[in-house]
């Protein structure tokens, strides 16, 4: 009776093995596949590489993208190895990683009878299928990158046409290479504008881009000198040390009474402006007359403020310095 108790489960197990899926590769070959996983970040204007430390690496038959045969974990240097490889078969190794800001994916093919190509790297680049977004380059008319500026991004063409920062949904700041990006957006049409001043030049540029559900779309804004044949306000925002302030909000009023009373929520302003990396907050093509301005910038627990009054003419922008304190 005791023999029967242990014999029957053993027979059942053997029968189960005999009827297993014959298409599954049990990795019983004699070859190896080796490689190094490397994360390549090319979204910043220069490519940086980081070893794929402890990444999960997957192996599959090259002609079967539906599933994987086996997986392993790369070591501290990103190195990985698969044993039991059939010399007569082609394989692919692949991996993905989500840093929280960018999703990366890479795939590397090993041809049949060529599994000894161990010097190849499994390069993981920003995925074009697992995320979408805008990759922006800002340049001048000689195609030289313009660093340190900020693009205002709109999804409403009517607010975009007003030529101010009012109504923007987010900013895309660019780095020292003139590159900036924003990922994981709602699909649709986006409108981008950059305004800045370099020396005596007032530069502006704009573009629009359609963002699909998947894919990072490259777009370029070329800044050009804008003749000052339009009126407006150009407020330069600094602190008491002369440091240009980025991201300060400037509330504009036509009514002195509303201006003096609206000191808490600032909901009664006629329009708002936001300073860019060059400290400039601007609005153009506005009704001539006197405007009352209040600039606000919250830094940690401090709220810096400054008020000003500016007279706007009909043909050129009125410039006003605002020193926050």
Each residue's pLDDT tens digit, 185-200: 999 999 999 999 887 6
Residue 43 predicted with pLDDT over 80: yes
The yes-or-no verdict on residue 1 having pLDDT over 80 is no
How high is the pLDDT of residue 29? 83
Report the pLDDT value the prediction gives residue 18, as an integer from 0 to 100: 37
pLDDT at 115: 64
137-to-61, 198, 213, 272 alpha-carbon distances in Å: 39, 18, 21, 26
- Retrieve residue 233's tokens: 């306000």
- Can you tell me the mean pLDDT for 45-68? 90
Mean pLDDT, residues 38-53 taken together: 92
pLDDT tens digit sequence for 125-143: 999 999 999 999 999 999 9
Classified as helix, coil or strand, 12 is helix
Q: What pLDDT is stored for residue 161 in this prediction?
A: 80
Token output for 32: 């190896």
Q: List Cα–Cα distances, 41 to 45, 103, 120, 182, 214, in angstroms.
A: 9, 10, 18, 14, 18
For the chain, list the domains and their CATH numbers: 26-126 (2.60.40.1120), 132-225 (2.60.40.1120), 232-323 (2.60.40.1120)
d(CA 190, CA 264): 32
Count of other CB atoms within 10 angstroms of residue 151: 27
Tell me the mean pLDDT in the region 78-93: 92
- Chain mean pLDDT for the chain: 87
Residue 2: what pLDDT? 46
Q: List pLDDT tens digits, range 104-119.
A: 999 999 888 766 554 5
Residue 308 has pLDDT above 90, yes or no: yes
The CA R_g of the chain, rounded to the nearest whole Å, is 30
């Amino acid at each position: 009776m005791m023999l029967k108790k242990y014999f029957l489960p053993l027979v059942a197990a053997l029968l189960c093995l005999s009827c297993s899926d014959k298409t599954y590769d049990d990795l019983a070959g004699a070859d190896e596949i080796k490689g190094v996983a490397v994360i390549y970040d090319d979204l910043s204007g220069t490519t940086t590489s980081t070893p794929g430390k402890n990444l999960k690496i997957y192996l599959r038959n090259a002609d079967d993208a539906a599933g994987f045969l086996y997986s392993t974990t790369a070591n501290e240097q990103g190195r990985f190895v698969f044993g039991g490889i059939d010399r007569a078969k082609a394989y692919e190794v692949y991996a993905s990683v989500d840093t929280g800001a960018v999703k990366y994916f890479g795939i590397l093919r090993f041809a049949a009878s060529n599994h000894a190509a161990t010097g190849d790297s499994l390069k993981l680049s920003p995925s074009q299928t697992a995320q979408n977004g805008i990759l922006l380059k800002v340049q001048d008319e000689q195609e030289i990158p313009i660093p340190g500026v900020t693009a205002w991004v709109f999804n409403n063409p009517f607010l975009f046409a007003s030529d101010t920062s009012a109504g923007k949904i987010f900013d895309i700041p660019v780095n020292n290479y003139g590159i900036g990006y924003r990922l994981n957006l709602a699909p649709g049409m986006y409108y981008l504008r950059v305004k800045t001043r370099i020396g005596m030049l007032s530069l502006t540029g704009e573009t629009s881009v359609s963002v699909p559900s998947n894919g990072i779309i490259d777009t370029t804004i070329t800044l050009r000198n804008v003749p000052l044949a339009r009126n407006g306000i150009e407020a330069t925002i600094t602190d008491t040390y002369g440091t240009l302030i980025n991201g300060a909000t400037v509330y504009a009023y036509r009514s002195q009474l509303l201006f003096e009373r609206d000191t808490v929520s600032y909901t009664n302003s006629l329009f708002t402006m936001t300073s860019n990396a060059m400290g400039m907050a601007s609005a153009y093509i506005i009704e001539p007359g006197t405007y009352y301005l209040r600039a606000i910038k919250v830094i940690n627990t401090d709220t810096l403020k400054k008020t000003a009054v500016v007279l706007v003419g009909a043909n050129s922008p009125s410039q006003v310095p605002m020193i926050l304190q």
